[in-house]
Amino acid sequence: MRYRLTATTSSLLVLLLIVALTYAAYWPGLHGGFLFDDFANLPTLGASGPVDSWPVFWRYITSGTADPTGRPLTLLSFLLDARNWPADPFLFKRTNLLLHLLNGLLLYSLLIRLGRMLTIDAPRYRIAALVATALWLLHPLLVSTTLYIVQREAMLPGTCVLAGLLIWLHGRAQLATGKMTAGLSWSVLGLGGFTLLGVLAKANGALLPLYALLIEMIVLAPRQLFPAGKIQRAHRITLLAFGVIPTMVICSYVVWTGVHGIATGGPAFRPWTYAQRLLTEPRVLMDYLQLLWVPRPFSTGLFNDQYVASTSLLHPATTLPAILAMLTLIGAAWRIRRGHPALALAVLFYFAGHILESSSLPLELYFEHRNYVPALLMFWPLGLWLADARTLPALKRGLMIVLPIGLALMTHARAEVWGDVRTQSLVWARLNPDSARAQANAAQIEMQTGHPQNAVRRLETLLTSQPDQVQLAFNLIGARCLIGGIRPDDIAAARKAMQGTPNTGGLFAHWFDRTLPVAMSGSCPGLGPGDLLSLINAGLQNPKLTAAGPQQDLTFLRGRIALAQHQPDAALADFQQALDLQVRPGMALEAAATLGAAGYPAQGLRLLDHYRQVEKNAMPPGFGMPMLHEWVLARQDYWPHEFSRLRNQLNLDAKASNTNSNTDQSTPH
């Protein structure tokens, strides 16, 4: 007996084949390591011990500092992979890939529903959904989102957006059949509930209402009108409350940020102004679109610090053409929305998805992962064209096979690079010759693999043209130490970089941790504690580093040099000065513990006593999640417990030290 597959079953089998192909294409990249921002975010998994109890869980889940929300949904998802630090990167990357595949399945479901609403015949909208899903899932541009562990925070909003839109469309369909209670419940859950979930993963989850409004205006309203009456009014009120108002709030915030930023200048921590950013982002968006429609196996990856900001409409020369191209695309899409709704929706959905991260907010200019959600509908119009067998059927059938396979091969090639740290660093350095970050990263890998001379040549070449890049200067010192010692001009170059850098971030502190023992031991000829002190003093005098945070960090490091030189009172004075700049309990504990661990518990106790005197000046927590985190700590009596525990230990150490001292004095020699 013969069985014939139904169209639905055939589509699902093809979809599973696409999913399997995507998994195979990404497989080599799962064996790579942690990168950059991974180290800035994931160690919170073990910051206060393994996440194996409710008190530790609540401290962990409220510890986020990115966005006012702290992105707790993203933090929660990391617990699927590890509950302590350090951890295995493979598990995190595998979960990212599974999430990417889930998003592909949700995208297919959304495109099927949208195709039905456009009253396209079933075979065509099914094929179009399969093609568009395959092109999105397999696109090499998304590798830098999927295999960069911390960018799960960019993927989870995609999950929330897709699920929220599907649930809202289901609720809208219920309303259309007269089921008001069920329809409103599903609509509110989709637009309200999943917008909230998206925001808890990353702030751009707040764009879900805008996506829904675009679908409503372009696809739904012209074709599926509600009969006048209570149901129509309920739908409009729901859309107003959970669609229009949130969208107006977001757009108003973006506009206010731009206007206020242009009026007040800055931002101080960026090398460009708000006005220059607004001129630059159309160029960035055009570059993104080129990468989406003319894909290539390799791109600049995570290093985009060399991207040149626009300083006027004519500099660079592509600035004005990019602005005109962007406005033309948006205007044309709106104009053709009646006759070509899928194309109009794809274009407007894309630009809407960039409203937060590619407009006035003072984020870095360029990152590939920002395209993950905006590009969701990008290939749907192409899929609809390929699925129309009335013209050029042979060519279209061939393209439906060749395009996904071609993208899969490019994604596989890029994933192989992501799976090999050394190859990855060298490829990115070659593609980004003017990126200080890329060259410093490649130099670090060369030092780790026994090629410090290559690192020296690489760093010297770029440092001459970018003398304020501390990452080049510091890594050059490290490379010089590996090949025999440093020269006075290396220290001079590092001092010059410290005098001009706008931000050291955590870079100097991490480098200092590695370098201080080397300087104290004398194992690197030409490098001593005085050289490190000169770098710190240069930073303290840098007019761009006058904020309390950088001053506190540098003053604390100055105290550590004094401590390493067995000058506990000088170290204590620096630690107290650092604490006074920003009174924080964590800072006080770290300073006191550092003194105790170095063998000076009496000074550690004096530091704790000093904190008691200035505790009333403690920094208030920032708005949002930091306030909730502080509340959790207060509920657990966390700080009093930690201070009591450390004070007890320091007292014991001090008594033991006094006892040993008395014993030594009474022993005959």
Q: What is the pLDDT of residues 66-102, one digit of tens each?
A: 899 999 999 999 999 999 999 999 999 999 999 999 9
Domain 431-663 has CATH 1.20.1530: no
Structure tokens at 243: 């669609």
Q: What is the pLDDT of residues 513-569, one digit of tens each?
A: 999 999 999 999 999 999 999 999 999 999 989 999 999 999 999 999 999 999 999
Q: What is the pLDDT of residues 603-658, one digit of tens each?
A: 999 999 999 999 999 989 988 999 999 999 999 999 999 999 999 999 999 998 77
Burial of 301 (0-12, 13-18, 19+ CB in 10 A): buried
Supply the pTM of this predicted model. 0.93
DSSP letter assigned to residue 86? S
265's CB contacts (< 8 A; 6+ apart) are 273
Nearest Cα neighbor of 138 from 277, 49, 225, 15 is 15
Identify the pLDDT of residue 309: 95
Cα torsion angle, 8, 9, 10, 13, sign:
positive
Whether 224 has a pLDDT exceeding 80, the answer reads no
Could you tell me the CA-to-CA distances from 172 to 183, 314, 345 in Å, in that order?
Answer: 6, 47, 19
Distance CA 538, CA 558 (A): 12
Q: What is the pLDDT of residues 303-319, one digit of tens each?
A: 888 899 999 999 999 99
Helices (H) and strands (E) in the chain, counts: 31, 0
For the chain, the average pLDDT equals 93
The phi, psi pair for 108, rounded to 5°, reads: -60, -45
DSSP 124-163: HHHHHHHHHHHHHHT-GGGHHHHSSGGGHHHHHHHHHHHH
Whether 667 has a pLDDT exceeding 70, the answer reads no
Q: Which amino acid is at 500?
A: G
Identify the pLDDT of residue 271: 87
604's CB contacts (< 8 A; 6+ apart) are 591, 592, 593, 594, 595, 596, 646, 650
**Residue 669 — very low, low, confident or very high, per pLDDT cuts 50/70/90?**
very low
Identify the pLDDT of residue 658: 76
Distance CA 588, CA 643 (A): 9
Domain ranges of the chain: 7-417, 431-663
Contact 401, 18 (CB under 8 A): no
Q: Report, as an integer, the average pLDDT of 208-235.
A: 89
**Residue 1 — very low, low, confident or very high, per pLDDT cuts 50/70/90?**
very low
Cα torsion angle, 610, 611, 613, 619, sign:
positive
Whether 192 has a pLDDT exceeding 70, the answer reads yes
316-325, 468-477, 657-666: which has the minimum mean pLDDT?
657-666
Contact 380, 303 (CB under 8 A): no
DSSP 224-248: -PPPTTHHHHHHHHHHIIIIIHHHH
